[in-house]
Amino acid sequence: DAGVTQSPTHLIKTRGQQVTLRCSPKSGHDTVSWYQQALGQGPQFIFQYYEEEERQRGNFPDRFSGHQFPNYSSELNVNALLLGDSALYLCASSRDRRTNGYTFGSGTRLTVV
């Protein structure tokens, strides 16, 4: 049983560029949440997708956007990258938005230079 799969595992981008990160949820899960984890900090909630719509959003600018597809997979897009966007981006999936606990992927390490 595959857990949460994220791609790519590592990525280096230049300031001002755009990036797309991908997430496939655990089998049977329909809700995807995205987090940014800077070095030495806890995960910061970016947003959550359910039924292909953004349902909840944290305190992130509009440069951060997402999408969920009919197969429940999701993308995180970040435009106009800043050095401060360098972080580990974590995807977590759960079943029907309820608080059954999230299953996390191993993350995508984004470095902006």
Partner 1 sequence: AQSVAQPEDQVNVAEGNPLTVKCTYSVSGNPYLFWYVQYPNRGLQFLLKYITGDNLVKGSYGFEAEFNKSQTSFHLKKPSALVSDSALYFCAVITNAGKSTFGDGTTLTVKP
Residue entry with tokens 């039924």: 51
Token readout for 14 is 């230049």
Based on the shown chain and the rule CB under 8 A, indicate whether residue 60 belongs to the binding site for partner 1.
no
Based on the shown chain and the rule CB under 8 A, indicate whether residue 105 belongs to the binding site for partner 1.
yes
Q: Identify the residue among 24, 31, 74, 93 touching partner 1 (CB under 8 A).
A: 31
Based on the shown chain and the rule CB under 8 A, indicate whether residue 84 belongs to the binding site for partner 1.
no
How far apart, in whole angstroms, are the C-alpha atoms of residue 88 and residue 99? 23
Ramachandran category for residue 55: left, alpha or beta (phi over 0 → left; psi -120 to 50 → alpha): alpha
Q: Identify the residue among 1, 2, 42, 53 touching partner 1 (CB under 8 A).
A: 42
In the chain, the amino acid numbered 22 is R
In 3D space, the residue among 30, 26, 46, 27 whose CA is nearest the CA of residue 38 turns out to be 46
Q: Identify the residue among 24, 81, 107, 110 touching partner 1 (CB under 8 A).
A: 107
Choose the stretch contacting partner 1; rule: CB under 8 A; options: 12-20, 62-70, 73-81, 104-112: 104-112
Q: Which residues pair with 76 in a beta bridge?
A: 21, 66
Considering beta carbons, is residue 18 or 109 the nearer one to partner 1? 109
Contact residues for partner 1 (CB under 8 A)?
4, 31, 33, 35, 40-45, 48, 50, 55-56, 58, 90, 92, 94, 97-107, 109
